[in-house]
Structure 1
Amino acid sequence: MEILDEFDINIIKELEKDGRMAFSAIASNLKISNTMVHQRINRLIEQGIITGIKPTLNEKKIGYDWGAFTGITLKKDHDSERVIEALKNIPEITECYFITGQYTLYIKMIAKDHEHMRKLLYEQIDNIPGIAKTDSLIELGCAFKRNVSL
């Protein structure tokens, strides 16, 4: 059974243009009923296909000029859930992934300047019990960021 049909895909494409678009405008653009748009969006949210409709911030415009990708090596991999909970308490960490290879976790974080980045790494992240080592790459700008094409 196909998860997304043509209507779902077209509704998602409309939301990608403007997440604040009124359901009535989507319905008008796609020549379908407002009720159908509402039902489809609710179903996509319930199924976890759409995980939220929220603003995407330009971090640099709000004072976060530094970004880094950091690989985290744990002392013991079974500590990962506890470490992840501690990482969630650091607002500057915007993404966290389980990965294969030499690291257990890979995070994306932002900072206002190099001193802020240093404090995040050495005073917060490195002090989380269970973290053995971190290895960071400084981000020099995002070439592009997008959703998968439907």
Structure 2
Amino acid sequence: MSVLVVVLSVLLVLVLALCCLLAFRVAQLRRGGTPVLLRVLPADVDEGWRHGTVHYTDEALRYYRLSSLRPGPSRTLVRRRLDISGRRRPVGTERDILEGMVILEVHQSASSGDDRTYEIAFDPGGVTAFQSWVESRRSLRSQNRRSA
């Protein structure tokens, strides 16, 4: 009987520690960054959305999934390889979660040929910030000219 109590106590401590780590991560990520929902395409209309935050750097957008305990970003989208390929409003059951948000379809080309397409749902202010960030990058032509 005492062995069972010890095992249950250890499990309880581990579960509490995991909950504390998750709460710390959520609090830390909500303090900075832009809240978004992201999904990898192809996906059904109302499937695959993940809550998180995005943090911008000069070279990349870093997406941190809220329900992950990973210390670094869940996805990194390289700025010079991003193109906004579409824009839409939520449809169907997406409206329950994404009401008032704008969904951007973003294509990331990769040098390895492993291109990816994402949908990122922002509030209207987040859309403006993201578009400005993407459009203000230096063009590949100016980068190539500078290295010549």
User: Shared fold (TM-score greater than 0.5)?
Assistant: no
RCO higher in structure (CA 8 A, sep ≥6):
1
Q: What is the TM-score with the length of structure 2 in the denominator? A: 0.26
Q: What is the TM-score with the length of structure 1 in the denominator? A: 0.26
